[in-house]
A and B are shown apart, each in its own frame.
Chain A
Amino acid sequence: MIEQDWAIILARVQFAFTVSFHFLFPAFSIGLASYLAVLEGLWLKTGQGVYANLYRYWLKIFAVVFAMGVVSGIVMSYQFGTNWSVFSDKAGPVIGPLMAYEVLTAFFLEAGFLGVMLFGINKVGRKLHFVATLAVAIGTFISAFWILSVNSWMQTPVGYEMGANGQFLPGDSWPRIIFNPSFSYRLVHTVFAAYLTTAFAVGGVGAWHLLEDRNNPGARKMFSMAMWMAAIVAPVQIFAGDMHGLNTLEHQPAKVMAMEGHYQSHPEGAPLILFGIPKSAEKRVDYAVEIPKLSSLILKHDLNAPMKGLDTVPDADEPPVGIVFWAFRVMVGLGFGMLGIGLWSLIARARKSLYDWSLLHRAALVMGPSGFIAVLAGWIVTEVGRQPYTIYGLLRTVDSASPLDAPAVAASLVAFVLVYFAVFGSGIVYLLRLMQKPPEAHEAPPSDAPIRSAGVTPAAQVLSGDGRPGNAHSGETV
């Protein structure tokens, strides 16, 4: 029995570790793929070389991020079975088809066109190459669509029937399962999060190079584009996050109670706890800095609305409060920090000092990794906050795990930790090295790989000298 407890804890740590590492890469590549599509589209439309150079600059980075996303993602598709086989058996009839659709409509699309996107610049025409970039970008979005549908169904399960053998079986409507009550909110919130993550990473890189050379045209362009994204998407994201929170309050109130640190019910308006130290053993928040009644105002739009606390939830059904409480504050804090940078950039633009205000550049540089931290924090809020369930209210985490011996899980966990830190640690160093190089007027293609078939004359080269993106002569305006 004790050993079984250990096996489950280790399996949970392993899943948390592998999924957290994995999530960093798609959070970046979803946004980056769209950014690349925009850059290539602008280059095709305007012919300005700066866009082609930025395309090549970020394509090299995208290739590394994408490779890490692919290999860490394949691990995820097996982890459901290796470590959570009971869950897979029970939920497979419902979530399996959604994941199969992800493979059929997204993974193949991304992988199939990635080769052309990375290596096919000289082999297909400009327009076809743009189609490949678009296909990859759309593929990343479709992938997010399906996997978030699966995740949302696990959070807000509807449209199922219980089988005699304990399996969850699909009811008569698949759209009801796919578009389950929390799906649209989660999808919007997560995709915007990916866009913001990319915007701040791009903005941070641009700011770094502006601090070194404020006349670098590539750095100016990427910084400006990133700051537009920050100014537009950050406020929309805060609104979307608020809506998502209200949806969570409706379907998973215990999660919101943990986010808010509400151990007790507040019949006459609940305070918003800004900071404090949640003590689950004593069921109170120490050193709380709170604004009276604000939580009721935000969540119920009424100062005096009664709010239930965790005292209304049996202890065995409560999520861990401390980690949810803190992760939520990290996410919200960074979100408002992003909003601040976005507004600051608007002021800088109005004062015509976007490229000269080095304090803004320093702030943007510091905020460069903020998106990654925020998405991880948000993921922790939603995943830890739905404990102790895998399928909310229906299947407990402890009843979902594979019948494995603890030493087997421990050994694989150690292997994952060592390999991930070594491999993805190196990858992140390579990414930083690529980002450290200033964008140049004559960016090299993504890899030094000499790929060209003998005896096949690339059509684009026959057409004209500027038949490929990033060619030094292609309408360079800088």
Chain B
Amino acid sequence: MDLTVIWACIIGFAIVAYVVMDGFDLGIGILFPFFKVGKDRDTAMNSIAPVWDGNETWLVMGVGGLLAAFPLAYAIVLPALYAPMIAMLLGLVFRGVAFEFRWRDPGHRAFWDRAFTAGSVVATFAQGIALGALLQGITIENRAYAGGWWEWLSPFSLLTGCGLVVGYALLGACWLNWKTEEGLQRQAVTYAGWLGIALLILIGAISFMTLTLEPQYYKRWLSFPGVLATAQVPLATIIVTWFFYRSLRLRKDAQPFLWALALFGLCLVGLGISIWPNVVPARVTIWEAAAPHRSQLFMLVGAAVMIPVILAYTAWSYWVFRGKVGHDGYH
């Protein structure tokens, strides 16, 4: 088995894990200003406070893995996405400290609540822009990025940015439906319904625009007989959407969240179909960017041992904080 392919799968897994875990907690940040000040906001925050840090670590795993397994891709992509990446990092700074600071300084809680939202929106929007900028293709010469510092900006990248903000907000709303009760839960269900519609519209628009970006994408999706396989993705999206709305209507706790994740999963499958086997979409293949065999093998030993262990204690940590978030403090 080709180590490079294995590493592409591991990094793909880190991206999936990141979206699954950090998507909903960024989404709660995005929706935060719509919750009532006081008990509702505290509950929303507390539903993610014990786990957000571990969730965000998958982002570091994704980029660290990229540096280690595909250093050339890391070296090309980050300068190309310079402004969105810096914006994402600064957004993450604001939202990360807000978890602690809003409790430490009640006099400025309103400020740190706004920082929590602004940071979450900026970080998410920047991630979405980064995705769009990569898909539309970046300028490369001699193993290096050769475009300007605004190349990432386009209607398409702004659209993917909006798509991710709506998508994470949907995950956040579904998470709150699962973890909270009463008024906040009802509010979350209402939001989830509308955000689901908005997301489907955006997914449709982004999908059609993607087909026009590069001939590779168009051929990959629509040439016969491949189309028989790729057509299953939109079909599955329709089925998942039906189950999602059904679970919302039946007032299920966990199911809407899981169906929303399935929707994200299908988007990622679609993304994989478009770009495989490139690590910089339509530009650099995974084999061109790959680190030497020794680097990949050495890391694979660590990843094979550690990733299951990490998943185990992450699951344990979620299990400790299972169930609805209550309101009864300890004192």
Contact = CB atoms under 8 A, between A and B. Distances in A.
Interface of A: 63-64, 67-68, 70-72, 74-75, 77-78, 80-82, 85-86, 88-89, 91-97, 99-105, 107-109, 111-116, 118-120, 122-124, 163, 165, 167, 169-170, 172, 174, 402-405, 407-408, 412, 415-416, 419-420, 423, 426-427, 430, 433-434, 444-445, 447-456
A340 to B, nearest CB: 34
Contacts, number: 279
A435 to B, nearest CB: 12
Contact of B97 (A71, A93, A109, A119): A71
Given A105-B306, A405-B149, 19 more contacts: A64-B104, A67-B99, A70-B96, A74-B92, A81-B85, A92-B74, A93-B291, A96-B69, A99-B68, A100-B69, A104-B302, A104-B303, A111-B53, A426-B101, A427-B97, A448-B329, A450-B326, A450-B330, A454-B324
B69 to A, nearest CB: 7
Interface string B48-88: 01110110110111011101110110111111001101100
A71 B54 contact: no
Contacts of B65: 100, 103
Given A115-B49, A450-B326, A453-B326, A404 B79 contact: yes
A276 B331 CA distance: 59
A92 B330 contact: no
A116 B145 contact: no
Interface stretch (B191-199, B216-224, B292-300): B292-300
Interface residues on B, range: 35 or more
18 contacts: A64-B104, A70-B56, A85-B144, A89-B74, A96-B291, A99-B64, A107-B61, A111-B57, A112-B54, A112-B313, A115-B317, A115-B321, A120-B320, A169-B292, A405-B149, A447-B49, A450-B327, A452-B329
A93 B143 CA distance: 15
Contacts of A101: 299, 302
B234 interface: no
A82 B54 contact: no
A430 B72 CA distance: 42
A70 B98 CA distance: 13
A94 B68 CA distance: 8
Interface in B197-219: none
B6 interface: no
A103 B78 CA distance: 19
Contacts of B97: 67-68, 71, 423, 426-427
Contacts of B143: 89, 165
Nearest to A85: B75
